């Protein structure tokens, strides 16, 4: 089974990225042949600073490796090191109905927020389809917001196979229901575009301040809170703390007597502890960038060999060769 996923280097990675995509991807690397990449072409739709892209791409590589991506088990590379994917995107775009892209939630959300989208934002799901199809991927672990893009990929693949003959493997998304949407510090979906993130790595003081700044209601500490399971800090605690610790906090909040300050302090400690090992690993990797770059170069070579084979299949099927 081939597993594939990508993540954009468009900002600092946060708990939503980690629980929604990175951890499932890391766990899956034992279950098949995993291909994971840094979607730098995709980041061009929204980030227009070259140096920032370079820096973010390296940061994502460090984050992913520190969190447990194992280059012995997974092929890890930068999207643009396999330029064949842009050629495949063209082959696919000619079979993609405009209406299908106009219907994509992520595109509609951007329109609704008043952005004036560039063509790249509109065409983005087609490039994503090319990413998936060019590696004959079976399974795509992503957060819920990407589900529709994998559905679009399937539609395009089916249409290509129907038009030009069996060429592509039809992929499935994998979405973890319990972490499908990680809430941000304001209770909405955690996202770098909403300014409500808790980063995976960063300065202790800043992150403590973010967590202590999570808004709570004005009920007194001693008041029982029957809706404790809906509390944002409890929801986040369930992700980063051992089950019994999270349950204990939840029960104390429900019974009354646990103040929000103490709850958030507990959340910070559990969160900080959860990433302690990864933090150490990240510091080691940062001091050994030659190794990190070597991993990406080796990954790109493997990915490119496979991509060339599949692209050739598509070129032949469609009469380009």
Residues marked as catalytic: 110, 189, 192
Q: How far is it, in rounded angstroms, from Cα 227 to Cα 33?
A: 43
Q: How far is it, in rounded angstroms, from Cα 281 to Cα 66?
A: 5
| Dihedral sign of CA atoms 27, 29, 34, 37 in order | positive
Tokens (6 digits) for 228: 């404790």
| Binding at 181: pick from ligand ADP, ligand TRP, none (beta carbon under 5-8 Å per type) | ligand ADP
Using CB under 6 A as the binding rule, the residues of this chain from 257 to 316 that contact ligand ADP are none
Among 2, 78, 189, 225, binds ligand ADP (CB under 6 A): 189
5 binds ligand TRP (CB under 6 A): yes
∠ CA 96-97-98, nearest 5°, is 115
193 binds ligand ADP (CB under 6 A): yes
Among 142, 267, 311, 317, binds ligand ADP (CB under 6 A): 142
**78/225 with CB nearer ligand TRP:** 78
- Which uninterrupted H or E stretch holds 24? helix 23-28
**Of 169, 188, 31, 49, whose CA–CA distance to 109 is shortest?**
188
**153/231 with CB nearer ligand TRP:** 153
Using CB under 6 A as the binding rule, the residues of this chain from 112 to 151 that contact ligand TRP are 128, 131-132, 140, 142, 146, 149
182 binds ligand TRP (CB under 6 A): no
128 binds ligand ADP (CB under 6 A): no
Among 2, 3, 8, 96, binds ligand TRP (CB under 6 A): 8
Dihedral pair phi/psi, residue 218, rounded to 5°: -100, 15
Tokens (6 digits) for 109: 């959300």
| Binding at 42: pick from ligand TRP, ligand ADP, none (beta carbon under 5-8 Å per type) | ligand TRP
In contact, 253 and 231? CB cutoff 8 Å: yes
Dihedral pair phi/psi, residue 5, rounded to 5°: -155, 160
- What angle, rounded to 10 degrees, do the helices at 147-164 and 119-133 form? 70
Stretch near ligand TRP under the rule CB under 6 A, chosen from 6-14, 183-191, 296-304, 311-319 = 6-14
**Interface residue list for ligand ADP (CB under 6 A):** 7-8, 16-17, 20-21, 142-143, 145-146, 181-182, 189-193
């Amino acid at each position: 089974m081939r597993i594939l996923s990508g993540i954009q280097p468009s900002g600092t990675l946060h708990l939503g990225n980690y629980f929604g995509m990175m951890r499932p991807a890391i766990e899956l690397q034992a279950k098949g042949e995993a291909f994971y990449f840094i979607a730098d072409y995709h980041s061009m739709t929204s980030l227009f600073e070259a140096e920032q892209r370079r820096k973010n791409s390296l940061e994502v590589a460090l984050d992913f490796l520190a969190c447990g991506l194992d280059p012995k088990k997974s092929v890890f590379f930068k999207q643009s090191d396999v330029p064949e994917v842009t050629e495949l995107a063209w082959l696919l775009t000619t079979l993609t109905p405009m209406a299908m892209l106009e219907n994509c939630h992520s595109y509609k959300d951007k329109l609704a927020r008043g952005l004036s989208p560039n063509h790249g934002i509109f065409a983005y799901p087609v490039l994503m389809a090319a990413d998936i199809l060019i590696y004959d991927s079976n399974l795509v672990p992503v957060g819920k917001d990407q589900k529709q893009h994998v559905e679009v990929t399937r539609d395009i693949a089916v249409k290509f196979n129907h038009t030009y003959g069996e060429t592509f493997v039809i992929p499935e998304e994998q979405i973890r229901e319990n972490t499908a949407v990680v809430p941000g510090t304001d209770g909405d979906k955690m996202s770098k575009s909403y300014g409500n993130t808790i980063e995976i790595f960063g300065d202790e003081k800043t992150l403590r301040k973010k967590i202590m700044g999570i808004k709570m209601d004005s009920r007194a500490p001693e008041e029982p809170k029957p809706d404790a399971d809906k509390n944002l800090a409890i929801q986040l605690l369930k992700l980063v703390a051992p089950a019994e610790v999270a349950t204990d906090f939840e029960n104390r909040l429900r019974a009354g007597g646990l103040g929000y300050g103490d709850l958030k302090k507990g959340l910070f400690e559990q969160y900080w502890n959860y990433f302690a090992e990864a933090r150490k690993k990240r510091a080691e990797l940062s001091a050994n960038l030659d190794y990190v770059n070597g991993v990406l170069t080796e990954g790109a070579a493997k990915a490119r060999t496979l991509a060339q084979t599949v692209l050739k299949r598509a070129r032949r099927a469609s009469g380009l060769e």
